[in-house]
Every structure is written in C-alpha cells, then in structure tokens.
C-alpha cells in the first residue's frame, strides 16, 4: 500500500516535469498539442477511491496550469476526465472484474482494451481543454480537428511510455 502511494507520488512529479520541461517545448505545429501528464490519471489503481481520484486530478491539473499559465483549464479537463473514469472502467470491465491491486495497463489487459479505455478518456480531456481554451463556436471544426489530432498523438506517447515502463518492470 505504502509502496503504491510512493510510486504514484513519484510518477506524479515525473510526468509533470516531463510535460513542462520537454513536451511543452516540442513544436509540432499549431494543431498538435500532446499532454502526456494525463497518463497519471489513466494508470491509477482500479480501486482508487473516487474522492482521491478527483482530488489527484485537480492537483495534477492545477499544477500543470501553473506552468502553462492557464487559469484552471487543465484542472477542469483533468477533473472531468477523472469523473468519468469509473464509468469507462465499468464499461470495459472484464467478466470476472478487475484484479485487486492492479492498475489499468497494456501489460495487464492488452492493447485493444487499453486503447479503448485511454482513447475515450484522452479524447474527453482534450475536448474539454481545447473548447474551454477557444470558448467560441465559430472555430468549432478546426478545434475539433485539433482535439482529434492531439488525442491521437497523446495516445501514441502514452502507449510508448507504457511499453517503456513495461520493459523496465521485466528487467527488474
């Protein structure tokens, strides 16, 4: 239990640092904005209490907001993502349920399951974030295109990082 808490605290800071020091500074055009930090919410253990999930998402979002100078946009998107996460997990729940003490990962449930689960949550996060940012409907289609392209790129980064962490676990 304590090991899981420490690992998630380290993961929190590592993902925020990677986001603000590396990913934020990668210039990929005006339509591609990856947000790797959402991986923190995606791979929290299945049995994480909803209040802790929402609180963690808010703290994650507000921390990123401080570095991006966006007043609450990332926090709002993260909280919505965390709010719908239990419903998405229930939607994709295996017949036997989830094993206690595990976390959503490619290693545990496979790539089709993980892409479905993460794809929905990343899409919702980006949808909320980009529409709050633009806050008008006259650029609806260009913003929606940005949501789709950024979601795909973010998912690609999430899957790559899953394989990197998976290999690290196998070597230990």
Structure confidence by residue, pLDDT tens digits, 143-153: 999 999 999 99
Task: Decide if pLDDT at 165 tops 80.
Answer: no
Domain of 7, CATH number, reads: 1.10.1760
Q: Which residue has the tokens 């919410």?
A: 41
Q: What is the pLDDT of residues 53-66, one digit of tens each?
A: 999 999 999 999 99
Average pLDDT of the chain is: 89
Closest CA to 154 of 122, 132, 107, 125: 122
Q: Which is nearest to 54 in space by CA: 78, 87, 37, 19? A: 78
Tokens, residue 16: 């925020």
Task: Please tell me the distance from the alpha carbon of residue 3 to that of residue 116, in angstroms, as a whole number.
Answer: 28
Q: Is the pLDDT of residue 113 over 60?
A: yes
User: What predicted TM-score, i.e. pTM, was given to this entire model?
Assistant: 0.90
Residue 22's domain comprises: 2-171
Q: How many domains does the chain have?
A: 1
How many other C-beta atoms are found inside a 10 Å radius of the C-beta of residue 68? 14
pLDDT band of 78, cuts 50, 70, 90:
very high
Compute the Cα dihedral for 39, 45, 125, 82 and give only its sign: negative
Whether 133 has a pLDDT exceeding 80, the answer reads: yes
């Amino acid at each position: 239990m304590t090991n899981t808490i420490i690992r998630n605290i380290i993961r929190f800071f590592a993902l925020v640092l990677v986001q603000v020091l590396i990913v934020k500074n990668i210039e990929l055009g005006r339509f591609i904005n990856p947000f790797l930090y959402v991986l923190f919410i995606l791979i929290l253990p299945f049995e994480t209490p909803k209040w802790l999930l929402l609180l963690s998402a808010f703290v994650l979002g507000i921390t990123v907001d401080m570095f991006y100078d966006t007043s609450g946009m990332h926090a709002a998107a993260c909280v919505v993502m965390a709010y719908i996460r239990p419903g998405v997990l229930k939607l994709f729940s295996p017949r036997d349920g989830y094993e206690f003490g595990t976390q959503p990962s490619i290693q545990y449930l496979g790539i089709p399951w993980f892409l479905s689960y993460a794809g929905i949550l990343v899409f919702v996060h980006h949808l909320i974030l980009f529409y709050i940012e633009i806050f008008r409907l006259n650029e609806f289609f260009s913003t929606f295109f940005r949501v789709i392209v950024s979601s795909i790129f973010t998912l690609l980064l999430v899957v790559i990082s899953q394989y990197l962490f998976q290999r690290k676990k196998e070597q230990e």
